[in-house]
A and B are shown apart, each in its own frame.
Chain A
Amino acid sequence: MSESRDIHWSEDEDLLEQFVLGRLESVQVARLEKHLQECDRCRIAVAKERELAAGIRLAGRQTVKHRLAQRLEQRRYRSAGWYRVAGVAAGIVLLVTIGIYNRWFAANETQTDKQDRTDRIEKHVEPEPPRSPERQVTDAEKPAGDASRQSAAENRQKAPSLAAGAPRAAGAQSGNITDARVDRLKDLKATNVAEEAERREKKDRITIVTGSSTVSAAWVQGIVITERDQNEPMPMETGAKAKDERAVLRKGKEENFLAGKSVNAKASQNTIQNFTVTQKLISDLPASQRTHLQEAASVQTLLQRNPTGTQITVFLDSLLTKKEFDQSRVKTIGEDSIILNIGKRMVGYRLPPDWTGQGVQQTRKEK
């Protein structure tokens, strides 16, 4: 027994570890435990080894537990990420839906706006209804406005030289307005027709409605009535050559003299009042207006009317000298026509019908 006390098996590192880890056979374990009861040194060694093993196991458990917690956290974060992605996706879908919804109603609104604009233009132009077989209206049934327009049309036919310069708002004048509205409301095709009419009208005429005042513009072709020689005096100067210009002004009640871009303050009795003349080269013409240059005896001109007067922009082959241009003059003929003396030319213009409502009526009465 004393022999076994002297043999400290705990000094065998491997045996001690195997004992603590429980890897020994039960018989061997029993023998070693019997020795431990008698050997303090071995008992202390075993206790130390057990503490060591327990501490390392604790560290191992905590490591695994910590990693498990990390994995669970990552999984939770990923789930939250998916929820976030789903939330963002839902938000995008919502925004797109709202966008489509708004666009849908905006498109409807735009369509309504277009129609309103077309209606405004049509009202402004006051187109002549066609005399189609289906809608023949007697003169007695026509409103006064229609009668006056009819009269104006007849006047233009009687004066072809001036009527050639009338504005071409025929696109907007096709079809009865009420019927066109009904048709447009009925189907999209009719709407396209209205848009086409609007486009055609815009080619000849630009109408900008700003607040209460209206600024109108119209392309007209002036008819060259006469073209004098270099030394020939200006036609309007023939009867007034001996007198000064002020005398001419007094004599001709509706005659306006212009110099360059200055505005003549003298006003006529009708709606045609202050004129301003500007000259430009044909090359400055918009492409859409160059097609009207086929006739050599015509002058493409842009008339712009605003509350302060009328701007006449004449497009010429070559610009006049300042001296020539300063001698330009405008004379009103009736209330729907004007004659412009510019350079060597005398050019006649028929004003747009709605610019000269009173004049047209007056002409009709005189007739």
Chain B
Amino acid sequence: MKLSLFFLTPDAKILDLIRKGDEEALVTLYESNRRPIATYIARNNGTIEDAHDMLQESLVILWERIRAGSFEYKAHLSTFIYATVKNLWLQRLRKKKLFSSAEIDPEAHEDQSPSALEGLIATERVEMVRDALETIGEQCRKLLLLFYWEEQSMEEIAVHLGFANADTAKAKKYQCKKALEQALHRLQ
């Protein structure tokens, strides 16, 4: 039985909307968090454009986590957004060498690359995959996004994209991966 959104808290409504894939929830979150984020970024050598960018990125991370089912609601969404923006901004400042590394939260980011050079190479390769994804068909793009980004099961993907069953979706996913690898090979 579906409960009316009327009885939910504002955060619960947002979470429900994001789980349903309603991107208007992100706009609502953006508007409600715009001022505190702008104030924070402005106080830390940032501009209004930086605040705009940081807030958008934090909202995308929130979206990604909720959609992937990896989000745990421990505090208000505004608290999560503020913390995410803070980490993202400090990370960017570190890249700009405006702040000392001592001020950066060590848990804020995972630096898995052994060296800066390898990190740059990995970043380039990731961006190349992103570009290659744009060259394959729209259905393949959607399928791979649903599988890798939103981490939906093959059954869910089959329903979402109108395949006969999970096996058909799985076969299609295999074809799409091969197409992406070929596109990536062409770009390289």
Contact = CB atoms under 8 A, between A and B. Distances in A.
A52 B129 contact: yes
Interface stretch (B72-80, B81-89, B90-98, B130-138): B130-138
Size category of the B interface is: 20 to 34
A63 B150 CA distance: 13
Given A55-B128, A55-B133, A63 B26 contact: no
Nearest to A63: B145
A69 B26 CA distance: 10
Contact of B30 (A23, A51, A60, A72): A72
Interface string A34-59: 00000000000000000111111111
Interface string B113-149: 0000000001001111110111000000100110111
A110 interface: no
Contacts of A64: 23, 26, 60, 63-64
Contact of B126 (A23, A55, A65, A72): A55
A52 B30 CA distance: 30
B130 A55 contact: yes
A196 interface: no
Nearest to B57: A65
A56 B127 contact: no
A61 interface: yes
A367 B103 CA distance: 125
B151 interface: yes
Interface string A252-276: 0000000000000000000000000
Contacts of A17: 147
A116 interface: no
Contacts of B33: none
Contact of B60 (A55, A61, A72, A75): A61
B34 to A, nearest CB: 10
B157 interface: no
A60 B142 CA distance: 9
Contact of A68 (B60, B126, B129, B147): B60
A23 to B, nearest CB: 8
A64 B25 CA distance: 12
Interface string B154-187: 0000000000000000000010010011000000
B27 interface: yes
Contacts of B23: 64, 67-68, 71
B37 interface: no
Interface of B: 23-24, 26-27, 30, 56-57, 59-61, 63-64, 122, 125-130, 132-134, 141, 144-145, 147-151, 174, 177, 180-181
A204 to B, nearest CB: 78
B57 A52 contact: no
B50 to A, nearest CB: 15
Nearest to B30: A72
A60 B149 contact: yes
A13 interface: yes
A68 B26 contact: yes
Contact of A52 (B24, B61, B148): B148
Nearest to B24: A71
A53 B141 CA distance: 12
A143 B127 CA distance: 110
Contacts of B150: 60
A134 B149 CA distance: 105
27 contacts: A21-B148, A52-B148, A54-B122, A55-B129, A56-B129, A56-B145, A56-B148, A57-B149, A58-B126, A59-B129, A59-B141, A59-B149, A60-B148, A60-B149, A61-B61, A63-B145, A64-B26, A64-B64, A68-B26, A68-B30, A68-B56, A68-B59, A69-B56, A71-B23, A71-B24, A71-B26, A72-B30
